[in-house]
Chain A
Amino acid sequence: MKTRTAQAGVAAVALGAMLGAFAIGAPPASAQEDTKAEIERYREMLQDGNPAELTVLRGEGLWKEKRGPKNASLEQCDLGKGPGVVQGAYAELPRYFADVDAVMDAETRIVHCMVELQGFDRAEITKRPFSGSGQRATDIEALAAFVVEESRGVPVNVPQQHPKEVASYQRGERIFHYRGGPYDFSCASCHEGENKRIRLQDLPELTKQEPAQRAFTTWPAYRVSQGALRTMQWRMYDCFRQQRFPEMKFGSEASIDLITYLGVTAKGGKMDSPSIKR
């Protein structure tokens, strides 16, 4: 990685300290368990001074600033709890929106508001929805960070009242189990069944409530290894890439359906985002 970041520096120091502690400590019962505990400790150390907080502050500024061709702020944006209500909104997304007759997730809805209220060009703002490694967060990422911060501690409650919300969940479940691509992979190949991992990363079993809660409540997150804040749309996009599926379009129905499926499974988990991840 070309980009030099503070976080990479912190990671190196933390690793060094970990190795030192490992060498002088009693022999571990299980090397793998020990590594897992140390990774947890490393995450705790990073939580203080999470760079995502800077993105949240910028997002708040963007939310309140009059911008775009219509010179309007996003303060009248309806995230599902009425115009202007941000508090707790993320925990109940994706949901059905009557004005567009469709289910939308947080990021899609933010884009919708940027188009409708501020007059931005949809194609223009969604051309590059995700920032590059170590680069400044995009406006969508910053806004998503702000919106999710306003739901910290709020229990996840993705609604299943409207028929389209139910349909979205059902499609999401089907996509989750759909095998395809050159690897003949599905989301479930990695995320269904106990104790699966890629290298040292434990893979959450996303069909179960507790692991789904941990996943849903901790995205968006600051990714230390990429020096960037990553959103839920990015998480879906990158899982598709890792499966070698066709590129997932930002805000596509498939992406929203998968987020709905995860969100409904994660019901009751307390939002704790933006978090910080390896």
Chain B
Amino acid sequence: MADPMKIRASAKGDVVDVRVLMAHEMETGQRKDADGNTIPAWYISEVVASLNDKPVLKAHWGPAIAKNPYMQFKIRGGKAGDKVTISWVDNKGDKRTDEAKVS
């Protein structure tokens, strides 16, 4: 199972600043291991962010995103106490969902 991600969400006025750190290897498929075999591509392909279960951001990612991706974005219309949910799916079908309360 995938490791948990770290989500921080803080409201300033009606804008929620969300910072997410995800744990993922993000293999490009270009690297070779010590024996010269290609390491298969393995990366997050889709990210969805929701505010109180309403999707506010959807991103299609590829192998160009670096390991343990860090994402920051702002949501207008949020407030303290709201729930921010982040989900990702990788190209192997593995997935992870975590949530945080807006502070």
The yes or no verdict on A and B being binding partners is: yes
- Interface pair A57/B67, CB less than 8 Å apart: no
Seen from chain B, the residues whose Cβ lies within 8 Å of a Cβ on chain A are 3-6, 19, 21-23, 26, 28, 31, 66-70
Contacts of A53 in B (CB 8 A): 6, 21
- Do the beta carbons of A6 and B69 come within 8 Å of each other? yes
A51 touches B21 (CB 8 A): yes
**Which positions 40-87 of chain A face chain B at CB distance < 8 Å?**
48-49, 51, 53-54, 57-58, 61
Are B6's CB and A54's CB within 8 A? yes
Question: B68 and A2: CB pair below 8 A?
Answer: no
Q: Quick check: is A28 within 8 A (CB to CB) of the other chain?
A: no
A219 to chain B, nearest CB (A): 20
Residues of A within 8 A of B21 (CB): 49, 51, 53-54
Closest approach, in angstroms, between the C-beta of A256 and any C-beta of chain B? 30
B3–A9 CB distance below 8 A = no
A4: interface (CB < 8 Å): yes
Q: Are the CB atoms of A6 and B6 closer together than 8 Å?
A: no
B23 touching A54, Cβ below 8 Å: yes
Using a CB–CB cutoff of 8 Å, the interface residues on chain A facing chain B are: 2, 4-7, 9-10, 48-49, 51, 53-54, 57-58, 61, 134, 227
Tell me if A61 and B70 are in contact (CB < 8 A): no
List 9 A-B pairs, minimum CB-CB distance, nearest first.
A6-B66, A54-B23, A49-B70, A57-B4, A53-B6, A6-B67, A51-B68, A5-B67, A9-B66
Please, how many angstroms separate the alpha-carbon atoms of A54 and B68 in the complex?
9
A-B contact pairs, 27 of them (CB 8 A): A2-B31, A4-B28, A4-B31, A4-B66, A4-B67, A5-B67, A5-B68, A6-B26, A6-B68, A6-B69, A10-B66, A48-B19, A49-B19, A49-B70, A53-B21, A54-B4, A54-B6, A54-B21, A54-B22, A54-B68, A57-B3, A57-B4, A58-B3, A58-B23, A61-B3, A61-B4, A227-B67
Q: Give 5 A-B pairs besides A51-B68, A53-B6, A58-B23 with Cβ atoms closer than 8 angstroms.
A: A4-B67, A6-B26, A49-B19, A49-B21, A61-B4
What separation, in Å, do the CA atoms of A6 and B23 have in the docked complex? 11
A9 to B3, CA, bound (A): 22
- Please tell me if the beta carbons of A54 and B5 are within 8 angstroms of each other in the complex: yes
B26 → A minimal CB distance (Å): 8
Roughly how many angstroms separate A4 CA and B28 CA in the complex, as a whole number?
9
B31, A54: Cβ atoms under 8 Å?
no
Residues of A within 8 A of B31 (CB): 2, 4
| Structural contact, B4 and A58, CB atoms closer than 8 A | yes
Cβ distance A57 to chain B, nearest Cβ, rounded Å? 4
Which residues from chain A contact B66 at a C-beta distance below 8 Å? 4-6, 9-10
Residues on B with C-beta less than 8 A from A54 are 3-6, 21-23, 68
| Cα of A10 to Cα of B19 in the assembled complex, Å | 16
Q: Shortest distance in angstroms between B84's beta carbon and chain A's nearest beta carbon?
A: 16
- Closest chain B residue, CB of each to CB of A6: B66
**Most central of B4, B19, B28 by chain A CB within 10 Å:** B4
Contacts of B67 in A (CB 8 A): 4-7, 134, 227
A21 CB to closest chain B CB (Å) equals 22
Query: Closest Cβ of chain B: how far from A58's Cβ, in Å?
Result: 5
Which residues of B have CB within 8 Å of A51?
21, 68
Q: How many whole Å from A83's CB to the nearest CB in chain B?
A: 26
Nearest A residue to B26 by beta-carbon distance?
A6
